[in-house]
Amino acid sequence: MGTLTGILLAVSAVMVAPAASAEPPGKDEIAKSPNMSLLANIPKQGPMAGAANLGSDWAFKGNYAFGGNYAGFTVYDISKPSKPKVVTVVSCPGSQNDVSLAGNLLFLSTDASMSDDSCQAVPKPATDKTAWEGIKIFDISDVRNPRYVKAVETKCGSHTNTLVPGKKGTSYIYVSSYRPDGTYPDCQPPHDLISIIKVPHKNPASAGVIAEPVLFPDGGNPGDPVGTPWPNGTSATSGCHDLTAYPDKDIMAGACMGDGVLFDISDPEKPYTITSVRDDENFAFWHSATFNNKANKIVFTDELGGGSAATCNTAVGQQKGANAIYDIVGSGDKRKLRFRSYYKIPRPNADTENCVAHNGSLIPVKGRDIMVQAWYQGGISVWDFTDSRKPKEIGWFERGPWSDTLQIGGSWSAYYYNGYIYSNDIQKGLDVLKIKDRATDQGERVRLPLLNAQSQPDYFD
Decide: helix, strand or coil at residue 236. coil
State the pLDDT at residue 23.
Answer: 80
Instruction: Give the Cα separation of 301 and 422 in Å (integer).
Output: 19
Q: Listing from the earlier edge strand, what are the strands of the sheet with 420-425?
A: 36-42, 429-435, 420-425, 411-417
State the pLDDT at residue 227.
Answer: 86
User: In 248-282, which positions are buried (b, 16+ CB within 10 angstroms) versus exposed (e)?
Assistant: ebebbbbbbbbbbbbbbbeebeebebbbbbebeeb
163 Cβ contact list (under 8 Å, min separation 6): 100, 101, 102, 107, 171, 172, 173, 245, 452, 454, 455
Give the closest residue to 296 by CA, choosing from 249, 256, 255, 254.
249
Instruction: Give the Cα separation of 343 and 301 in Å (integer).
Output: 9
Residue 366 sits at φ, ψ, to 5 deg, of: -65, 130
State the pLDDT at residue 22.
Answer: 63
Per-residue pLDDT of the chain (461 residues; tens, 9 = 90+): 333 333 333 333 333 333 445 688 998 899 999 999 999 999 999 999 999 999 999 999 999 999 999 999 999 999 999 999 999 999 999 999 999 999 999 999 999 999 999 999 999 999 999 999 999 999 999 999 999 999 999 999 999 999 999 998 999 999 999 999 999 999 999 999 999 999 999 999 999 999 999 999 999 999 999 889 989 999 999 999 999 999 999 999 999 999 999 999 999 999 999 999 999 999 999 999 999 999 999 999 999 999 999 999 999 999 999 999 999 999 999 999 999 999 999 999 999 999 999 999 999 999 999 999 999 999 999 999 999 999 999 999 999 999 999 999 999 999 999 999 999 999 999 999 999 999 999 999 999 999 999 999 999 98
Decide: helix, strand or coil at residue 30. strand
Global pTM reads: 0.95
Q: Which domains does the chain have, with CATH numbers?
A: 29-224+231-451 (2.130.10.10)
State the pLDDT at residue 28.
Answer: 81
Q: Listing from the earlier edge strand, what are the strands of the sheet with 323-329?
A: 286-291, 297-302, 323-329, 336-343
Instruction: Give the Cα separation of 145 and 385 in Å (integer).
Output: 41
For residue 231, say if its preceding peptide bond is cis, omega within 30 degrees of 0. yes
Question: Vertex 409, ends 444 and 101: CA angle to 5°?
Answer: 50
